């Protein structure tokens, strides 16, 4: 009887869990693909403070939703609140030119790379077909890591919009 209970419990557990542990479900049928070495990590007050210092201290509020840690970098996923992609792009444009390594506006969003306080920073925001607005930022102290992991196409490929 005990073996049967364990088998049923194990079967139910495995059938109810996400089969693809390489994806983090966000919201509105959007997921984010994890790379090797990345781990979804608990958001602590220290992480929230770091995120607020770099990304959530402006006129547009982007609360931190997910935090991903790798030994060489961190990724923050925020959900913009009560704003639009146009407002977010305008704020990027208002940053001093010395901050921008690369700022690219596209019809659905923007990409921004810059260096601040010794960190190479990447920001991406876009609005999707289902009207969902997402914000992704990443920090690394290595330019090589930043250039190879946090490029426009690489981030776009990691965001999946699932159809029902």
Which CATH number goes with the domain that contains 107? 3.40.1000
Q: Is residue 64 part of a domain?
A: yes
pLDDT in tens, 29-52: 788 899 999 999 999 999 999 998
> pLDDT value at position 61?
80
* Selected residue with higher pLDDT from 120 and 163: 120
Q: Is residue 10 part of a domain?
A: no
Q: Is residue 25 part of a domain?
A: yes
Residue 40's CB is within 10 A of a number of other CB atoms, namely 15
Q: How many domains are contained in the chain? A: 1
The answer to whether the beta carbons of residues 118 and 141 sit under 8 Å apart is yes
Q: Rounded distance, CA 132 to CA 151, Å?
A: 21
Residue 78's domain spans which residues?
20-161
């Amino acid at each position: 009887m005990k073996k049967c209970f364990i088998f049923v419990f194990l079967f139910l557990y495995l059938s109810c869990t996400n089969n693809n542990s390489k994806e983090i479900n966000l919201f509105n049928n959007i997921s984010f693909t994890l790379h090797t070495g990345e781990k979804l990590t608990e958001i602590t007050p220290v992480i929230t403070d770091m995120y607020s210092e770099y990304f959530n201290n402006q006129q547009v509020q982007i609360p931190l939703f997910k935090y991903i840690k790798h030994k060489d970098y961190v990724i923050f996923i925020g959900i913009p609140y009560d704003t639009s992609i146009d407002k977010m792009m305008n704020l990027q444009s208002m940053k001093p030119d010395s901050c921008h390594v690369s700022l690219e506006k596209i019809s659905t969003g923007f990409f921004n790379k810059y260096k601040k306080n010794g960190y190479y920073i990447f920001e991406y925001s876009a609005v999707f077909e289902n009207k969902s607005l997402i914000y992704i930022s990443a920090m690394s102290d290595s330019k090589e890591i930043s250039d190879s992991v946090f490029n426009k196409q690489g981030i776009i490929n990691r965001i999946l919009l699932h159809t029902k």
